[in-house]
Amino acid sequence: MLTVHHLNNSRSQRVLWLLEELGVPYEIVRYQRQPDMRAPKELRAIHPLGKSPVITDNCNTIAESGAIIEYLIATYGNGRLIPPPNTPERLRYTYWLHYAEGSAMQPLLLKLLFTLMPKRAPALLRPLVRKVCNQALTALVNPQLKQHMDYWEGELGKSEWFAGSEFTAADIQMSFPLEAAQARGGLEQGHPKAMAFLERIHARPAYARALEKGGPYQVGR
pLDDT tens-place string over residues 94-125: 999 999 999 999 999 999 999 989 999 998 99
User: 3-state SS of the chain: helix, strand, coil percent to 5?
Assistant: 60, 10, 35
Which is more confidently placed, 163 or 44?
163
Helices 169-184, 12-22: axis angle to 10 degrees equals: 140
- What's the rounded mean pLDDT across residues 16-23? 98
Q: Under the phi-then-psi rule, with left for phi > 0, alpha for psi from -120 to 50, and beta for the rest, what region is 118?
A: alpha
Beta-carbon count within 10 A of 94 CB: 16
Question: Which pLDDT score is estimated for 11?
Answer: 85
Beta strands in the chain (DSSP E): 3-7, 27-31, 54-57, 60-63
Share of the chain above pLDDT 90, in %: 79
Q: What is the mean pLDDT of residues 63-91?
A: 97
How far is it, in rounded angstroms, from Cα 174 to Cα 195?
13
29 pairs with which residues across the strands? 5
Task: Report the chain's terminal Cα–Cα distance, integer Å.
Answer: 31
The residues, any chain, with a CB within 8 Å of residue 178's CB and separated by 6 or more, are: 152, 187, 194, 197, 198, 220
Average pLDDT for 190-219: 93
